Structure 1
């Protein structure tokens, strides 16, 4: 994760985004929420390299790590 221009927000690192693309089961609200705990709108921000709340980013990284540890 890297810094962003909005306070309290970060840009999800490309390595995490690539892992998410590999792990995704669908791009609907339902599929993204079940897999990563995020909405479609959050997904669009993440893959576009736009900032998201740092708390959501930290939770998401933990979730990805729990799905596929150590990759």
Structure 2
């Protein structure tokens, strides 16, 4: 049984019992992904900068390195 079948069973049962129908599968996926992204951003902000520096800083340093004369 997949999520759609379970939803259909739950919707039929809710209709018989006079309860509100549950949300369809996938209804809140975007909201959940945004919440996860925001949580990760918050955790990174609280942790502060990394001691070793980021990949962008290392690449910038490597690209702007002058050849020996």
TM-score by length of 2: 0.25
TM-score by length of 1: 0.24
Between structures 1 and 2, the one with greater helix share = 2
Between structures 1 and 2, the one with greater strand share = 1
Which structure is richer in relative contact order (CA contacts within 8 A, separation 6 or more)? 1
